[in-house]
Structures are given as C-alpha cells and as structure tokens.
Amino acid sequence: MLLPRFVSSTPMGTLQVVDSMVVERARGESQSTSGSLQSLCWGSSAFGGIVSAYFSGSLVDTYGVRFVFGVTAFLPLMTSAVAVLVNEHRLTPGEHAISVSGSGFVETSTQHIRQLWTSVKQPNIFLPTLFIFFWQATPHSDSAMFFFTTNKLGFTPEFLGRVKLVTSIASLLGVGIYNYFLKAVHLRKIFLVTTIIGSALGMTQVLLVTGLNRQLGISDEWFSIGDSLIITVLGQAAFMPVLVLAAKLCPPGMEATLFATLMSISNAGSVTGGLVGAGLTKLFGVTRESFGNLPLLIIICNLSSLLPLPLLGLLPKETADSDDEETKHS
C-alpha cells in the first residue's frame, strides 16, 4: 500500500547545499563511488525518518504538541553547528563585492541562467532528464488507496503511524540493497528490472481491495504492512539511480543549480502522475464512498508504469566498468 509522502522538515535550501556538495565530491568518480555517496546521504535521511516515526507519536502523547514542535524547531539549528566543519572555498573581497552589488547580482544571475540553459539543452543531459520526467509522470492511485484504507477498512491514525515507521525502515533497506548489490549495475538494467517488478508487485493492492487477502488468511493490517514494506524497498532502490544519474549530469560550477533543476523536473513528473491519476480516479467514478472500480484503476495505473520502458535508450550508454576505466585514465 502506497501512502502519501510526509513533507520533510529540513529546509529546502539546506538540501540543495548538501546535494551540491555531494555532486561536487562525486564528480570524476565511478558510478559505484557516486552510488555509495548517495546511499550514505539517503541512508542517513532514512535513519532519521525511522527515529522520527518511532518517537513522534509517543512524544506527543507524553509531552504534548508544543514540546514536539519545539524539538523539531531546535533540530535544524544543530545544522549550523555542523556547518562550521565544512571546508569550502571562500570568495575574495573583490568577488564578494561584485556578488552583493545590485548590477553585479543581476549580471551574475543572468549568466547563471544562460549557463543553466546551455547545460540543460545538451543532448547528454536533456535526453536522460526527459526519461526521468516520463518515468515519474505515470499515473498512480495513491490518493484513492488512502481513502479506501481509512474509510473502507477503517485504519486508524495510530496504525498509519506504524505503517510510516515500517516504510522508513524499508527506505533504509532499499538504500542498503542498492549500495551493496546495485550501485555497479548498468542504469538501464536497474530501471528495466525495478519497473517490471514494481508493476507486478503493485497489482497486489487488488487483493486488498477485493478482500482476497482475508480468504488467504492474511488480515488487512498485516497485508498492508507487508505490501508497504516490499513496495517501499523496491521504490527506494529504484529511485537511487535517479539521484546518481542527476549527479553525473551536473557540470562543474553548476552543481547546486542544475541538480535542483533536475530534481524539480523529476518532482514535476511526479506531480503530473498524480494529476493524471486523479483524472483517472474521477473518470472511473472512484470516490471516498464508492470503490467499485478501484481494482480496475489499480491495474491500469500499474500497467501504465511500463510505458516509459521504450525510452530507456535515452539513458547514457556508459557502464560502471567504463566509468572506472575513465577515472583511472584521468
């Protein structure tokens, strides 16, 4: 069961700075090394999600909402203490004066926009980005499933919190699987296999909607937890190559800007998929009270995830081994 994503409390600017540091560090490295760096970052994020999901409910019950909001407001301040340990190149006084002046700022911003457009329109960047967009833009039935589990099955907020904890653990498992088994595998093969398996596993939601899981002796709660665990592990392992690919596409000097742009395009694809899924939900007459056509909606959404596979040729042809050889020669 796929549940709506929880919004991270980490400031977006901080995420972009961290992303740019990872991209800069991974430049010139092999796909395997770049995958290890991304796995470390997202593994840390998944571990934080586990801690948050485990303690948030108990802290609210014990100390109240204000205390939890205070803790979540204090934690980002700890980033400031860690930031002083970052080794960075400082601007000279002349460069700093130009960057803060009005005309200098406008000129610099215009130059960055031109550099961004020059980078994005290159075929080796534009074509993989186009694939990422279409890969994310396939419709999904997350909202319909959420209303089905809360209204039809009667899942409580407490149980949904437990599912959130399980999905956080599953995200960490997905990062670990990618880091230990998939980071050196060709990107096209990863996308092909994970998309096919993900489409097949997504069909298991039909069992929950039709109640066949109960005929198999599996309760709705346990089936939902197991389904969420498996799908999240696969989804996280499938998303890691997107991050590695985006990091490899960023040219020097444009790390934060281009990486943020690529991730924005990926998120735009996800939003598009949600809008298309919402349109299909309305077309099939699935509402919060009527779920008769929900199995058909799930089947169509899962089959549509296979549509971007003919576009796998848009991804780079380089393999992990060729990356290693290029790194050694350089």
Domain of 189, CATH number, reads 1.20.1250.20
Q: How far is CA 111 from CA 160, 172, 254, in A?
A: 47, 39, 11
pLDDT of residue 302: 94
Tell whether 112 is covered by a domain: no
Model confidence band, residue 301 (pLDDT cutoffs 50, 70, 90) = very high
State the alpha helices, DSSP H only, in 284-319. 294-304
Domain that holds residue 155: 12-82+126-329
pLDDT of residue 169: 86
What does the alpha-carbon distance between residue 22 and residue 105 come to, in Å, rounded to a whole number? 26
Most confident of 12-16, 258-262, 306-310: 306-310
Q: How far is CA 110 from CA 92, 107, 125, in A?
A: 21, 5, 21
Instruction: Count CB neighbours of 49 within 10 A.
Output: 19
Tell whether 229 is covered by a domain: yes
Place of tokens 């204090």: 74
Burial string for 14-37 (b: 16+ CB within 10 Å, else e) reads ebbbbbbbbbbebeebbbbbbbbb
Give the model confidence (pLDDT) of 131-174 as tens digits.
989 999 999 888 899 889 888 888 887 787 788 888 888 888 88
Two structure tokens written together for 285: 């007459």
Tell whether 108 is covered by a domain: no
Tell whether 321 is covered by a domain: yes
| Average pLDDT along the chain | 78
Percent of the chain with pLDDT over 90: 23
Tell whether 121 is covered by a domain: no
Two structure tokens written together for 219: 């309760």
Model confidence band, residue 325 (pLDDT cutoffs 50, 70, 90) = very low
Domains in the chain, number: 1
Give the model confidence (pLDDT) of 5-14 as tens digits.
333 444 545 5
What does the alpha-carbon distance between residue 170 and residue 132 come to, in Å, rounded to a whole number? 23
Give the model confidence (pLDDT) of 55-93 as tens digits.
766 677 677 778 878 877 777 777 777 777 777 666 555
The helix/strand/coil state of 288 is coil
Tell whether 270 is covered by a domain: yes
What does the alpha-carbon distance between residue 139 and residue 5 come to, in Å, rounded to a whole number? 16
| 35 vs 282, residue with greater confidence | 282
Tell whether 106 is covered by a domain: no
Model confidence band, residue 204 (pLDDT cutoffs 50, 70, 90) = very high
Tell whether 242 is covered by a domain: yes
pLDDT of residue 72: 77
